[in-house]
Structure 1
Amino acid sequence: MSIVSFVLTTCLIALISGINARKKKVKTTNELFFANRSNNFIIVGGALLLSNISANQFIGENESIYINNMSVMAWGVSSVLAMLLVAEFFLPVYFRTGAMTIPDYLGKRYDNSTKKMVSIVVLCSYLINLLPAVLYGGAVALTGMLNFLQPLDLSYWQNIWIMVWGIGFIGCAYSVLGGLRAISISDTVLSIGLLTVGIAFPYFGFRFLGDGDWLKGAHILLSNHKEHLNSIGGAFDEVPFSTIFTGMFIMNLYYWGMEQFIVQQALSAKSLSHSQKGMGLACLGKLLCPFLINFPGILGVHLYSKLDKTAEVFPLVVKDTLPSVLIGLTAAVVLGAAISTFNAGLNSSSTLFVLNIYKPWKEKKNEVVTEKHLVFTGRKFEIIVSFLAMLSAPFIMFSKVGFYTYLQQLAGMFCLPIFTIIIIGVLFKRVPPQAAKIGIIFFIFSFIIFNYILSVKIHYLHMLALLFVTTSVSMFFVAKFYPNYSYTEVQLESVKLSPWKNRYWFFAFLIIAMVGVFVFFSKWGIA
């Protein structure tokens, strides 16, 4: 029954996305990469949330809660502050300057060689970290929940390979055939499924824990192992609370304001106002995430005294506590979440390659490049990237650190140098392109030395904050050799730049709610 429910839900989502996407056939790069800038705030908000929530969160965060406590939720909950800063300060800049990609903006701020350099760094990040990790997380979740391949008597390693390639093929087909429009619509539909699962999970989970008595189960969960309910991480937890104010804040600000596949969703809005509303809607979703996706990790603490493969806690809890129909629905949501992030990453990889590398190279050779040819090239590039990601994803199984920690550590090496040159470039108009290039190289080499060669006893998030400061200093030092350099922002007059009028009231509510969620999961609340 669970497999039937899974197949029906997955097909329904695909059908809705396909019908809506076919109404607007993809003929131009603007349609393929930005949905023709026609999405309203509901579609933007749903796409932002589901592009962020992948199987990595379901697997990695629940594993961390099972091993440590709720401190891992800080990644999502504290991101609300970063998202509001992006809505208020970053999105107006992107809309005003007409930047289509983050490297595109850096090309306007610095020069074309910086644009190309950053494009390559981001593409490496997607190929090495984002896309393989999304496929692996989805494969682990589906293997644990549904056991499609159990009758074939395959090993766990073989199951992971088959699941990775299955998710990869479906995701590639979505992105190649439908473009960003199909991705955005499927994300919006999936957000409804996520909400349904999030509401159902506590009810059935409490009933299972209390042997059919919902209240008894709730009492057990709130009375025993209370240390796992604490979101205020100590110095020896995976996510110490102090990191929220250093490297985590920087990573969140980069992710929501500079990560290409996230920014691309925001830029698909029909106006700045709709983009800001969409970001606000996604913030609300992030505040609900501890209640929607982290409950299985807490429940797993009470159900399993010891797991050899802690990454399997989420699929095990789903399989043991939910009825068959909801197991299928949950599997469909997890698959959809994995595909949505994979799709968004694929689409953004293609955007960066086609607009920032391939098209300039063709124009430099004085060749005429048609929109039809660029769309064809973009789709072909997505297929190649998909195959590379599918080949490498299963090997993440051999990572020596926790899955979520592995993702964040590796992401820092690619994200923070770009974050640094954007922040310095926005705030200081006299920093030249040469400083940006040296800053990127300085950061990446320093990161590799301190994290993989030297044994430095400091949390990696604090290390990222220190490297941000030292890289900024190196950029200011280089700038001293170019005293006459100055940058003037070029603005577009054709873009709708009227901001969301009532945003400050909603933003204030979100900040208060963010603090409230931390207090709820603390010694002053249920912990």
Structure 2
Amino acid sequence: MTILSFVFFTGLVAAITWYLTHKDDHDSSKGYFLAGRSLTFPVIAGSLLLTNLSTEQMVGLNGLSFRDGISVMSWEVIAVLALVLMAIFFLPKFLKAGIATVPQFLENRYDAGTRTITDLIFLGAYALILLPIILYTGAKGLVGMMDVPAITGIESQATNVWLLIFLIGIIGSIYALWGGLRTVAVSDTLNGAGLLIGGFMIVYFGLQAVSPGSLSEDWQTLKAAVPENTFNSIGTQSHDTPFDTLFTGVLLLNLFYWCTNQQIIQRTLGASSLKEGQKGVLLTGGLKLLGPIYLVLPGIIAAYIFAGQGIAKDDAYGMLVAKVLPAPLTGFFAAALVGAILSSFNSALNSTCTLFSLGFYKHMINKSASDDQVVKSGKWFGAFIALAAMIGGGMLIGQDSIFGYLQKMNAMYFIPIFAVVVVGILSKRNPPIAAKFGLIAGLAIISIGYFVPQAAELITHYNVHNFHFIGGVFLFLVIGMLIIGAVAPTAEAWSLQDVGAVDLTPWKFAKPVAVLLTIVVIAIYAILADFSVLSSDATTEALNSTSPPAITALPEAE
């Protein structure tokens, strides 16, 4: 029943996606990379949510809550503030410029050299960091959820992870390389419905496993059984996201991710109008408020059910699903989870194709290329990157905390690019040399902090949290760029020109909804907050019991 329900749901999504998109324009660059600028708000919201909602969240974030409790909800709740800023500030500018990629916007603002550097950073990050992690976490989650050794006849977990990495990679490549952005967005939306339903089912059946009573009784049993500060929104220094990091690295990483990350914002760039784009982005913000229920609470339930069994935190979610879900529902949820994996993988792969085709092939290699040649170049490059990602995914076997590893590695390119975009928009006379300084210096400083043992030891010695470190780098880059702009400003002030790509009439409820979402975020933190854990005694106790997650050398794969 598990296998049958898995095959049925997976096949159903594929069939509906084909039916809805097989007549689309897959040959022109506008149709392939931007869905013909035809996306409406339900598809934008569904695709945004599921591109983000993959196994690095389902497995990784629940793994962190398995250890730290509810405080790790910051990754979901703070994201709402970033989505608000995207809808109100960044999206109108991106759609006005009519861009297809973030590097293209930076060429508009600075020069072609800035675009080339940014294209290279994005391509390297997606190929070496994002895509391999998506495949690895997806395979690891499925191995824990389904009895994969019984299906394959292979006992080695590592071998089964390798097999699933290649299976997921091949299927995801077909979606991304054959169908383009609209195929990706439609399949995202369909899988998103399944994953949300499945995620809430895990919570329901998990609470039933805690105590076979009503949900309110189950909830009270869980709250009474777990450690005192499990449901405290305020993280201490021993947690992955201490409270003070919400205002530095956590906020900055969210702002880049939701406002300037090509993989994410590409579906907003394909919006049919500013109004549809804003509605889609803000709807995503509303849905993210539900994230702690299915991305954090299951990890806490797993900590209760598997207490004292010594399981690894990144294995907790898959084991919980296997334990509490009936077999037919396990197959359904596994199919939805595969959909989430495919969504993140093929979205990142589609963005990689877009960056290469429009940033290098059309821009540098073959400036007179036809639309058909541009699209084909993206497909061939995407196939090469997909293969490299499958190999890289297998090399991650043995990482201690894959979600923490992802956020740490993401900072290397998130922070420099976001700094350059923000300064570029706010400072009209900032010169191209300042942007190049921001990109190169930011990448170099964070890399040194991560990979040079002496630098890592120095930062650790002064007890600097990783998120404060990257916040400090961001501030240094912004100040450095502004100083360069003051010393050598451009002769003319930059102005953003409307290219007439879409209707720029804003949604009349955009600002009220944005304010409402911000109030809800503050209210969630206030309701769950117990600031007493930040007192000197509590902090000292936390520091003595667990070393803070400062920057250290990256763990080697076992």
Q: 1:327 aligns with which of 330, 342, 346?
A: 330
1:305-329, CA deviations, whole angstroms, 9 ceiling, x for partnerless residues? Answer: 2334321100100010111122112
For residue 171 of structure 2, what is the aligned residue in structure 1?
Answer: 170
Deviation at 1:183, TM superposition (A): 1.0
Note if contact 1:63-1:297 (Cα within 8 Å) is conserved in structure 2: yes
Partner residue, 1:37: 37
Q: What are the residue-to-residue correspondences of 1:429-468 with 2, within 5 Å?
A: 429-453=428-452, 454=455, 455=457, 456=459, 457-468=463-474
Task: Indicate yes or no: 2:304 matched with 1:313.
Answer: no
Distance in 2 between the 1:29 and 1:173 partners?
18
Deviation (angstroms), 1:214: 5.0
Note the alpha carbon deviations across 1:122-145, whole angstroms, 9 max, x for none: 111101111011101100111111
Which stretch has the larger CA shift, 185-194 or 459-468?
Answer: 185-194
Structure 1 partner of 2:288: 286
How do 1:88-167 residues align onto structure 2 when only pairs under 5 Å count?
A: 88-150=88-150, 152-167=153-168
- Displacement of 1:494: 5.0
Aligned residue for 1:398, secondary structure, equals: coil
Q: How far is 1:205 from its partner?
A: 1.5
Query: Residue 504 of structure 1: CA displacement?
Result: 2.2
Match in the other structure for 2:555: none
CA distance in 2, matches of 1:458, 1:103: 32
**2:411 pairs with 1:425:** no
- Please state whether the residue corresponding to 2:409 is helix, strand or coil: helix
Map 1:14-29 onto structure 2 (within 5 A).
14-29=14-29
Structure 1 residues 140, 521: CA separation in 2 closer, same or farther (over 3 Å shift)? farther
Q: Work out whether residues 54 and 341 of structure 2, in 8 Å CA contact, stay in contact via their aligned partners in 1.
A: yes
Compared with structure 1, are the counterparts of its residues 162 and 520 closer, same or farther at alpha carbon in structure 2 (3 Å cutoff)? farther
Cα offset for 1:397? 2.3
Which deviates more from structure 2 when the two are superposed, residues 33-42 or residues 23-32? 23-32
In 2, distance between residues paired with 1:144 and 1:494? 46
Q: Which residue of 2 aligns with 1:58?
A: 58
Report how many aligned residue pairs link the two structures.
520
1:32 is displaced (CA, Å) by 1.0
Question: 2:504 and 2:157 mapped to 1: Cα distance?
Answer: 52
Distance 2:465 2:18 in 1: 45
Residue in 2 aligned with 1:302?
Answer: 304
1:89-146 deviation per Cα after TM superposition (whole angstroms, max 9, x unaligned): 1011011111211000000100001101100001111011110111011001111111
Amino acid in the other structure paired with 2:233: S
Q: Distance in 1 between matches of 2:276 and 2:215?
A: 41
Displacement of 1:209 in angstroms is 1.6
Output the CA distance in 2 between the equivalents of 1:432 and 1:150.
61
Going from structure 1 to structure 2, the CA distance change for 1:277 and 1:343 (only over 3 Å counts) comes to same
Question: Hey, what does 1:224 align to over in structure 2?
Answer: 225
CA deviations over 1:338-357 (Å, ceiling 9, x no partner)? 11011110000000000011
| Partner residue in 2 for 1:239 | 241
How many Å separate the matches in 2 of 1:519 and 1:140?
35
Cross-structure match for 1:413:
412
- Residue 475 (structure 2) pairs with residue 476 (structure 1): no
* Structure 2: stretches of 5+ with no match in the other structure: 532-558
C-alpha distance in 2, partners of 1:433/1:276?
30
> Which runs of structure 2 are paired with 1:189-200 in the superposition (5 Å)?
189-200=190-201
For residues 362 and 301 of structure 1, the distance between their equivalents in structure 2, rounded to whole angstroms, comes to 54
The farther-off stretch of 194-203 and 236-245 is: 194-203
Q: Please state whether the residue corresponding to 1:307 is helix, strand or coil.
A: coil
| Aligned partner letter, 1:57 | Q
3-state SS of the aligned residue for 2:395? helix
CA distance in 2, matches of 1:520, 1:10: 40
Instruction: Give the aligned partner of residue 515 of structure 1.
Output: 522
Q: Which residue in the other structure is 2:554 paired with? A: none
Q: 1:55 to 1:231 in 2, by over 3 A?
A: same
CA contact (8 A) 1:132 1:392 kept: yes
Q: Percent identity?
A: 33
Structure 1 range deviating more: 85-94 or 487-496: 487-496
Which amino acid in 2 is paired with 1:309?
A
Deviation, 1:198, is 3.2
Is contact 2:274-2:507 (8 Å) kept? Answer: yes
- Residue 511 of structure 1 and its aligned partner are, at CA, apart by 1.6
- Residue range with higher mean Cα deviation, 422-431 or 21-30: 21-30
Deviation of 1:215 (Å): 5.1
Distance (whole Å) between structure 1 residues aligned to residue 77 and residue 484 of structure 2:
37
Cα distance 1:32–1:224, how it changes in 2: closer, same or farther (>3 A)?
same
SS of residue paired to 2:507: coil
Matched, 1:498 2:497: no
- The answer on whether the counterparts of 1:77 and 1:286 sit within 8 Å (CA) in structure 2 is yes
CA deviation profile, 1:249-305 (whole Å, cap 9, x unmatched) = 111111111000111111111000000000011111110111123232011111112
Q: What TM-score do the two structures reach when normalised by structure 2?
A: 0.90
Deviation at residue 362 of structure 1 after TM alignment: 3.4
Query: Are 1:296 and 1:318, in contact at CA under 8 Å, matched by a contact in 2?
Result: no
Query: Counterpart of 2:203 in structure 1: which amino acid?
Result: P
CA distance in 1, matches of 2:351, 2:29: 12
The answer on whether the counterparts of 1:3 and 1:146 sit within 8 Å (CA) in structure 2 is: no
Matches of 1:202 and 1:477, distance apart in 2: 51
Q: Deviations over 1:490-521 (max 9, x none)?
A: 22245310000112222222122222332444
- Seen in structure 2, the aligned counterparts of structure 1 residues 13 and 426 have a Cα distance that, compared at 3 Å, is same
Aligned partners of 1:312, 1:519: CA distance in 2, in Å? 31
The two structures have a TM-score, normalised by structure 1, of: 0.95
Deviations 1:369-427 (A, max 9, x none): 1111111111111111100000011222233x521110001000011100111111111
